[in-house]
Chains A and B, each alone.
Chain A
Amino acid sequence: MRLHFSSRRNKSSNPIAAILFGAVFALFGIVFAIFGFSVLRTEAAHASWAATPCEILHFEIRHDRNRSDPFSADVAFRYLVPEGALESDKLHPSSSHYKEVRDLYEVKASVLGWQPGQPPPPFPIDGICYVNPQIPEEAYLIRKPHSWVAAALFPLFGLTFASIGIGIMWSGFASRRKGKPVTTATPDGEMPPKFLIPFFLLFALVGAGTFAFLFLPMAKNWMAAKSWDEVPAEVVWSALRTHSGSDSTTYSADILYRYPFEGHDYLSNTRSLMSSSSSNRSAHARRVEEHPPGTPITSFVNPERPWQAVVDPSIGAAALFALIPLAFFGVGLGGLVYTLRRKGSGATAGLTGSTRSGSTAAQHPTSPGLPPIAVDSAATAQLCARGDRRRKALFMVFFALFWNAIVSVFLFGPPSEDASLFLVLFMIPFMLVGGVALFVAIASLGALRNPIPALQSTPGQPRLGSPWRLEWDLPVGSERLRDLRIELIGEETATFRHGKNSSTARQVFFHQTLDHAEHPSEIRSGATTVTLPTTVPPSWKFGRHAIVWTLRIHGSIRLWPDVNDSIPLNVLPAATDTTPSQS
């Protein structure tokens, strides 16, 4: 006979739905990947053009109000190839138009070696251009920054989504192949960890990456903008921009203004630190009407990079959207932890079996999910709730600080043009959550100062049907307690999934008050011996189902957080004639 431990979960699931869902997912990913590879190929081709010395003859920033990307560079450069001297006016290999003029200023500064605070160097300027080795007449001056990253991300995302889709399909096909057997039935339509882990990892990375690249630079700029110079400016033109999305159209007011700084005129069309568009067409149209050419306005200029300027240096209500990536990060991280814990619990079951089968299981094989028997399970063991309290307090303090730090950015930042009743109403639930979190964190910290009962369990792992002795001692602080209640609880727990949500249900099947002390001397120390019945199940956990035994200690303290500790117990099955006895 061969012993082994494996698991299967059954549930009536529809494999056809899984296959179709997976196919759509995979198809979407493949199309994305194909598009990405074509972009990557074009980028790679342009990257292979030969770097050649050139003379930049001029570089002027042009703007065309009627374009949605109104800014372009009027550039000319001369370069020498074996065929002779040639000229080109291409700034980039692909489109050379920009939506934000500050980005074009950055390119200009980079190409010309223009140092902020100094006048632009006189033309011609020596530089490097990139020449097509096949057609020397084709040349460009600079690649768009980060074009490689964008080009590489497309196929990466596409391939990841395609893999997940194929995984879902594979899971669906596998479930169709298997028949009715209980022990070899397919998992209940859920993806195995090898697919879930990369899925959730991707989710968390995208969330963290977007937060890091979107929110953190914005917050940094916002902090820096407090010291930017206030400079009078004049509107050059203003236009209402339309942004057509897949399911809605949004609008924004594009206002180009000119401002002098340290003897030079600069252009900017950046209104605030966070670009914003919305479906409220009339509000943006009104803003455009209020800013006809020649309107004097006030701008705030970054003295270190004078082409960076804004009209409104506050962070604005639109910045709230920058918090959305945190939700992605949370879902990804939560899913990852959940998947790894599930995977871990399966491994524990296997380890449990292998540990026991070498010793007592020679007579009685164990089954997956039973707690491992400690080598010194018969000896006295110390039980302590200190770690549980610290974990709770640490988590709550971290959560309260993090949450309230984010919320305070919006509460204590400079008033924004967008500050409105909507913003105040929007923030109220976030502030309430922050307040409750702070209260719970303070209570958790207060609970750290509560007396910690020293508990002794004999034997260390209680066994059903055998006497179990529990001793407690409160050497310090017992006088603060008005009473002390020690309870032993046995619960069934089951976790269910409903779409993207999961819930854990609990059902108590055993409750025994081991002691309820009200006299100070009884609170300070005591002992009790109980024999757990054999007609209840021992501790056990497998998959989403578990039998959980817990020692609960509750002590009331006047005007202070109560002692409220839970200590998990590993209750072993009842002994038989062949089970090694515990002294």
Chain B
Amino acid sequence: MKPTLDIQFDREPAIYPPGATIQGQVFWSGATRVRRARVLLFHQSEAKGHKEVAVVAEEEFPHPGTDEGRGFAFSLPLGPPSFEGGLITMRWGIEVLLEPGLSHHEFFTLSPDLSGPITLSEPPDMPTRKWWHSITSPDVTITTGR
């Protein structure tokens, strides 16, 4: 039997305000052997395909079996919120790791706006930049060599 992993949040849709507590259940079945089971709270920023992932908190399930359902709860930080910007997309998620070799993650939204992630866009009142400003503080700085 192919092993299955699932994460269920206590809210639908999974949108949480900063500072709230996120709770949920993790289910797994069909694993032949589980040496260690962990659930992690993380945020992931992505810009043009490049991702940065930071683990914020972690909880370990003691004595994991091969077919289980376990609850988790994390206090959420005040920020950064989930957002979709012109450059960066920030997402929050929960990942369950079963060792050896099984994992599954689900994203949720951390936002003061409970309708969804914050959308960032260029403000309309940006002053016109002089050409020499692009030398002193350019939109894109290119560095040659590493």
Give A residues with C-beta under 8 Å from B.
1-12, 179-185, 188, 200, 330-331, 334-335, 338, 349, 361, 363-370, 487, 492-494, 496-497, 500-511, 513, 534-538, 540, 542-545, 547, 564, 566, 572-579
Contact = CB atoms under 8 A, between A and B. Distances in A.
A570 to B, nearest CB: 12
Contact of A9 (B52, B74, B79, B105): B52
B122 interface: yes
Contacts of A12: 49
B136 interface: yes
B77 to A, nearest CB: 4
Given A505-B140, A507-B85, A5 B55 contact: yes
Contacts of A368: 54, 56
Interface of B: 17-19, 40, 42-45, 47-60, 73-81, 83, 85-88, 90, 93, 95, 97, 101, 103, 105, 112-113, 118, 120-123, 125-127, 136-146
Contact of A364 (B78, B90, B120): B78
B79 A573 contact: yes
B88 A494 contact: yes
Contacts of B105: 181-183
B87 A505 contact: yes
B103 A540 contact: no
Given A368-B54, A501-B144, A179 B88 contact: no
Contacts of A513: 125, 127
A507 B103 CA distance: 34
Contacts of B86: 492, 507, 509
A469 B43 CA distance: 32
A536 B87 contact: no
Given A5-B54, A182-B93, A574 B78 contact: yes
Given A535-B112, A578-B19, A2 B47 contact: no
Contact of A494 (B42, B47, B73, B76): B47
A367 B77 contact: yes
Contact of B80 (A6, A505, A507, A547): A547
A543 B19 contact: no
Contacts of B81: 537, 573
A492 B87 contact: yes
Q: Which of A536, A545, A579: most chain B Cβ within 10 A?
A: A545
A182 B75 contact: no
B19 A501 contact: no
Contact of B88 (A3, A9, A492, A575): A492
Given A182-B42, A507-B85, A507-B122, A366 B78 contact: yes
A361 B57 CA distance: 12
Contact of B56 (A5, A363, A540, A579): A5
A545 B44 contact: no
Contact of B45 (A182, A183, A366, A545): A545
A334 B57 contact: no
B141 A503 contact: yes
A502 B143 contact: yes
Given A365-B56, A535-B113, A334 B101 contact: no
A574 B18 CA distance: 8
